[in-house]
A and B are shown apart, each in its own frame.
Chain A
């Protein structure tokens, strides 16, 4: 099976969907002639031309609004945000318009819209470029949010997102763009709302999304090697819709859960998971549900401090041992 990086997997997904459906188009800052700020759209403008891959001014509110309108008329826009942090200037378009129109039109108008881009801290680009808004956006009924952790998941989820008839927000990660995984050549889709058990274990469930999945896998390795604790790692993949069944099945098996989350802790995705577990698997818990989140501060710019802000395998191991 070919080994490709996360960036190439996304690029392949976009190219395949552009080729498959003439209603699909890509729009954003520097996505066409410059090949994308992070080169995710590399070669697409050359291959598909001006009508399918469009550069815009630095106007998130305008080009997201344009895309909302285009999707209402049947096109399938794939909007790149250079950083998901910039979504906040287009918040009215994203939440009020994209999120509510299908409901407010009584189901008459679909919005087959994808907004994608990196949403992560840990790259020394400062607090205003390091937000992880999956928790904020997933709070809105009417939208879908996915956070792929691997190249395989990135490709399969992106293709499904483009074919979905509702707004889907794909949260990528600049720290993962260069990471490589095995990705099959033949076409595949990953349904939204289906979590993936990335490592089987019987003693404790580590539940995570995005890059925190990889942190959890490293922690699981240490736990197995140094502490004889068999951790199961559940990758949510989709935040909304959420695959409650898979995560509850894991907790019912291991009876303990540590939630690993690069969100800030307050109202984080993991807070939602914790509420779900205690409500639906209370009698199966043998320990309190605990979390390892980003430290509760704006993204720290000082490089030594920035290193400890996001969850590390060591912090995960410490948390596991505190309830094991």
Chain B
């Protein structure tokens, strides 16, 4: 097929933006060459060629959007010619492009997306065999990323996906339809995936919840002392969250059971702690992952989370940067939340819910009421993996570390 089409690059993508063309019209292209950078709802990804040939025409200019399946460029193999009687979608665009390029051969091609016929954005490209296996296993093809040519879902993609047991509510909850004055906001990619994954989490994972309140006095003191020093030497400051992340990881190395997943007939305790950090973005949240966080210092964690959060907000994360986490920390302290209980990020076993550090009257060792800094931390755990006692041990480790935070600097 001589056309390069907008591929489905993420589970939830419906359209993509051509950020950059890496190949110019007239350049030879080999299988596997990166020809363009495409921004999806989640990240900017590289588009590779699946055929050898020469890039003959570009239909979607840099910065323009195209829906999945829409033609982006014409890539002709040696001796191949443009198919005649081709679909409406390209015809209108090609005429415009030819006119533009004949007068100004070096100017970027005109945008063609607008006039073209809409292509069904929900079309999932899957091989017949992949569809058959998915049907038999009860796997939703819409949730799988295809590894075949053009992003096609092939058998191996479905075979490596766990079946989702039929857990949809039998009776749908009736909806009050949108009327005059109401807004009906169609689910974007991120919203849709949050809806699906967290519904699955809440309906399939038996959650239980533990809560502690930590004396954060020493943490407040140490952080301001460190930041004073860092500020003077012109370095970036440390946030409370940096300490909490480091403590969450350090505690998990002591209690490895929390860094785990339920796997049907087994529990998998992971050797590495890949720490997912919940980051709020414009239309939802993502959980970028700090890989092998157990090997990282407080400073390294601080820098990693700053970088990931910045890129998450600008949707520059690659899929591998938000996949494969083994434990999650969600912190709503900066939003003024005292305490909460987060929903587990499946297939992980636990999530920490971190509230704000509050100044409040506390009893000291002499039973006197004194001003103190308190931090509420919640643990939501999968009871199939973690029992109350294990969860309590983990929180106790966490408390010890946060109340003696100097250890986190080692």
- A residues lining the B interface (CB < 8 Å): 255, 282-287, 295, 318, 321-323
**Looking at the complex, which one of A285, A318, A322 makes contact with B129 (CB distance below 8 Å)?**
A285
A17 to chain B, nearest CB (A): 45
Knowing A255-B155, A322-B31, A322-B149 are in contact, say whether A284-B128 is a contact too (CB < 8 A): yes
Hey, which chain B residues are within 8 Å of A321, CB to CB?
Answer: 31
Q: Are B128 and A282 in contact (CB under 8 A)?
A: yes
Q: Are B50 and A322 in contact (CB under 8 A)?
A: yes
Known: A284-B129, A287-B149, A322-B50. 20 other contacts (CB 8 A): A255-B127, A255-B129, A283-B128, A283-B129, A284-B128, A284-B132, A285-B127, A285-B128, A285-B129, A286-B127, A286-B130, A286-B155, A287-B127, A287-B148, A287-B152, A295-B79, A321-B31, A322-B31, A322-B51, A322-B149
Q: Is B154 an interface residue (CB 8 A)?
A: yes
Q: Which residue of A lies closest to B129 (CB)?
A: A286
Whole-angstrom CA separation of A282 from B128 in the bound complex: 6
Whole-angstrom CA separation of A287 from B128 in the bound complex: 8
B161 to chain A, nearest CB (A): 15
Q: Please, could you name 27 A-B residue pairs with CB atoms under 8 Å apart, sorted by A?
A: A255-B127, A255-B155, A282-B128, A283-B128, A283-B129, A283-B131, A284-B128, A284-B129, A285-B127, A285-B129, A286-B128, A286-B130, A286-B148, A286-B155, A287-B127, A287-B148, A287-B149, A287-B152, A287-B154, A295-B79, A318-B52, A321-B31, A322-B31, A322-B50, A322-B51, A322-B149, A323-B149
Q: Which residue of A lies closest to B155 (CB)?
A: A286
B135 to chain A, nearest CB (A): 9
A43 to chain B, nearest CB (A): 47
Hey, which chain B residues are within 8 Å of A285, CB to CB?
Answer: 127-129
Hey, which chain A residues are within 8 Å of B31, CB to CB?
Answer: 321-322
Hey, which chain A residues are within 8 Å of B128, CB to CB?
Answer: 282-286
Whole-angstrom CA separation of A282 from B130 in the bound complex: 11
Hey, which chain A residues are within 8 Å of B132, CB to CB?
Answer: 283-284
Task: Kindly name the residue among A282, A285, A286, A318 whose own CB sees the greatest number of chain B CB atoms within 10 A.
Answer: A286
Hey, which chain A residues are within 8 Å of B50, CB to CB?
Answer: 322
Whole-angstrom CA separation of A286 from B133 in the bound complex: 11
Hey, which chain B residues are within 8 Å of A284, CB to CB?
Answer: 128-129, 132
Q: Which residue of A lies closest to B148 (CB)?
A: A287
B29 to chain A, nearest CB (A): 14
Taking chain A's interface residues, is the majority helix, strand, or loop, or is none over half, making it mixed? helix
Hey, which chain A residues are within 8 Å of B154, CB to CB?
Answer: 286-287
Hey, which chain A residues are within 8 Å of B130, CB to CB?
Answer: 286
B388 to chain A, nearest CB (A): 47
Binary contact track B239-273/A, C-beta < 8 Å → 1, others 0: 00000000000000000000000000000000000
Q: Which residue of A lies closest to B130 (CB)?
A: A286
Hey, which chain A residues are within 8 Å of B79, CB to CB?
Answer: 295
A98 to chain B, nearest CB (A): 38
Binary contact track B114-137/A, C-beta < 8 Å → 1, others 0: 000000000000011111100000
Whole-angstrom CA separation of A287 from B131 in the bound complex: 12
A205 to chain B, nearest CB (A): 13
B327 to chain A, nearest CB (A): 36
B52 to chain A, nearest CB (A): 8
Residues of B69-85 at the interface with A, using a CB-CB cut-off of 8 Å, are 79
Q: Which residue of B lies closest to A285 (CB)?
A: B128
A177 to chain B, nearest CB (A): 32
Binary contact track B138-150/A, C-beta < 8 Å → 1, others 0: 0000000000110
Whole-angstrom CA separation of A216 from B162 in the bound complex: 37
Task: Kindly name the residue among B128, B130, B148 whose own CB sees the greatest number of chain A CB atoms within 10 A.
Answer: B128
B366 to chain A, nearest CB (A): 73
Task: Kindly name the residue among B129, B132, B149, B152 whose own CB sees the greatest number of chain A CB atoms within 10 A.
Answer: B129
Hey, which chain A residues are within 8 Å of B152, CB to CB?
Answer: 287
Residues of B43-61 at the interface with A, using a CB-CB cut-off of 8 Å, are 50-52
Whole-angstrom CA separation of A295 from B132 in the bound complex: 35
Binary contact track B314-338/A, C-beta < 8 Å → 1, others 0: 0000000000000000000000000
A288 to chain B, nearest CB (A): 8
Whole-angstrom CA separation of A283 from B158 in the bound complex: 14
Whole-angstrom CA separation of A323 from B129 in the bound complex: 14
Whole-angstrom CA separation of A285 from B155 in the bound complex: 9
**Which 7 A/B pairs are nearest by Cβ-Cβ distance?**
A286-B129, A286-B127, A283-B132, A286-B155, A285-B128, A283-B128, A282-B128
Whole-angstrom CA separation of A287 from B127 in the bound complex: 6
B126 to chain A, nearest CB (A): 10
Hey, which chain A residues are within 8 Å of B51, CB to CB?
Answer: 322
A219 to chain B, nearest CB (A): 17
Hey, which chain B residues are within 8 Å of A255, CB to CB?
Answer: 127, 129, 155
B176 to chain A, nearest CB (A): 42
Task: Kindly name the residue among B50, B79, B155 whose own CB sees the greatest number of chain A CB atoms within 10 A.
Answer: B155
Q: Which residue of B lies closest to A278 (CB)?
A: B128
Whole-angstrom CA separation of A255 from B155 in the bound complex: 9
A303 to chain B, nearest CB (A): 19
B48 to chain A, nearest CB (A): 13
A50 to chain B, nearest CB (A): 52
Whole-angstrom CA separation of A322 from B155 in the bound complex: 16
B266 to chain A, nearest CB (A): 29
Whole-angstrom CA separation of A287 from B132 in the bound complex: 13
Whole-angstrom CA separation of A309 from B404 in the bound complex: 77
B18 to chain A, nearest CB (A): 24
Whole-angstrom CA separation of A201 from B128 in the bound complex: 21
Hey, which chain B residues are within 8 Å of A287, CB to CB?
Answer: 127, 148-149, 152, 154
Whole-angstrom CA separation of A282 from B50 in the bound complex: 23
Whole-angstrom CA separation of A255 from B132 in the bound complex: 12
Whole-angstrom CA separation of A11 from B252 in the bound complex: 81
Hey, which chain A residues are within 8 Å of B148, CB to CB?
Answer: 286-287
Hey, which chain B residues are within 8 Å of A322, CB to CB?
Answer: 31, 50-51, 149
Q: Which residue of A lies closest to B79 (CB)?
A: A295
Whole-angstrom CA separation of A307 from B79 in the bound complex: 16
Residues of B149-186 at the interface with A, using a CB-CB cut-off of 8 Å, are 149, 152, 154-155
Whole-angstrom CA separation of A323 from B148 in the bound complex: 8
Whole-angstrom CA separation of A318 from B128 in the bound complex: 23
Whole-angstrom CA separation of A170 from B275 in the bound complex: 69
Whole-angstrom CA separation of A321 from B149 in the bound complex: 10
B69 to chain A, nearest CB (A): 16
